[in-house]
Amino acid sequence: MKFINLHTHNFTNSDSVLELVNQYPNEFDATIPFYSIGIHPWHIAEDRIAEDLMIIESKLKERNCLAIGECGLDKRIEIALELQLQVFEKQLALAEKYKKPVVIHCVAAFQELIEIKNRLEISVPMLIHGFSKNDLLAKQLINNGFYLSFGKYLLRKPELERIFKSIPNNRFFLETDTMEDGIQAVYSLAAKYKNIEIEQLQKQIRSNFEEVFKRDID
């Protein structure tokens, strides 16, 4: 059974892993089999927003484009939050139009994120990648319909064990993001924390994937 890597910047082309590879509109690689595509808040270029959105929309029509993102909000960068909000909301509109899930980058802006989801009545799944925060925020996000994806911080922050254990099994994913460790290392620790076999964890995440992305895994 395949491992599912919800979010990675490092395409390995491994037969044993289904990788959702992050792509940027101006650096698109057509050889990658499954990908998400979006404008990351770090990489917003005002003179290219319209062009980037056109590229994203064209790719969202393709079957192997599984999601939009990563996109989102980051209060710890110099790019104005107002501009980030505008770009994010335009991408959410595309997600709704093409019924694609959204892979989200969020730093210090979770309350804004929840407000946007509810105000715009977003119906597609929204997945927080690289979750590393506290149990109260995790519960709030789950209660507001978000999915949480865990990766490098699960490996590096032992205090996440208690939080990860509390996440309902049908509401989480695993990822590698930019780290060199393989997805198998994340699955191994996650299975230990959940007190289940890796094969059982693979089945659960496969079920979550098929529910969120509305497609079977070959």
The CA-based angle 111-81-121, given to 5 degrees, is: 45
Distance CA(75)–CA(159), nearest Å, equals 24
The answer to whether residues 173 and 183 touch, using CB atoms and an 8 Å cutoff, is no
**Block residue for tokens 């019924």:** 99
Residue 29 known to bind ligand: no
What's the Rg (C-alpha) of the chain? 16
Distance CA(37)–CA(60), nearest Å, equals 8
The residues facing 73 across adjacent strands are 106
Residue 70 known to bind ligand: yes
Distance CA(180)–CA(177), nearest Å, equals 9
Residue 177 known to bind ligand: yes
Residue 7 known to bind ligand: no
Burial of residue 70 (number of CB atoms within 10 Å: 0-12, 13-18, 19+) = buried
Measured in residues, the chain has a length of: 218
Can you say which residues are annotated as belonging to the binding site for a divalent metal cation? 70, 105, 129, 177
In the annotated binding site, the residues are: 70, 105, 129, 177
